[in-house]
Amino acid sequence: MSRRFPAAAIQLAAGADPAANLEAAAALVRVAAARGAELIVLPELFLWRGAPGGERAVAEPIPGPTTERLAALARALGVVLVAGSLLERAADDDARAYNTCTVYGRDGALLACYRKMHLFDVDIPGHVTLRESDTRRAGGEPVTVATDLGVLGLSVCYDLRFPELYRRLIAAGAEILCVPSAFTFPTGAQHWEVLLRARAIENLAYVVAPNQIGRGASGVQDYGHSLIIDPWGTPVARASNQPMAALGEIDRDYQARVRRELPCLTHRRLV
Residues labelled catalytic? 44, 116, 157
78/73 Cα distance (integer angstroms): 8
Task: With residue 254 as reference, give the H or E element that holds it.
Answer: helix 252-261
Query: Which of helix, strand or coil describes residue 108?
Result: coil
Query: Which of helix, strand or coil describes residue 24?
Result: helix
114/92 Cα distance (integer angstroms): 18
49/146 Cα distance (integer angstroms): 29
86/95 Cα distance (integer angstroms): 16
Q: Which of 230, 241, 183 is nearest to 208 (CA)?
A: 230
227 class by beta-carbon count within 10 Å (0-12 exposed, 13-18 middle, 19+ buried): buried
How many Cβ atoms from other residues are within 10 Å of residue 5's Cβ?
18
Q: What's the angle, vertex CA 227, arms to CA 233 and CA 162, rounded to 5? A: 70
Question: Do residues 178 and 166 make contact, with C-beta atoms less than 8 angstroms apart?
Answer: no
142/12 Cα distance (integer angstroms): 25
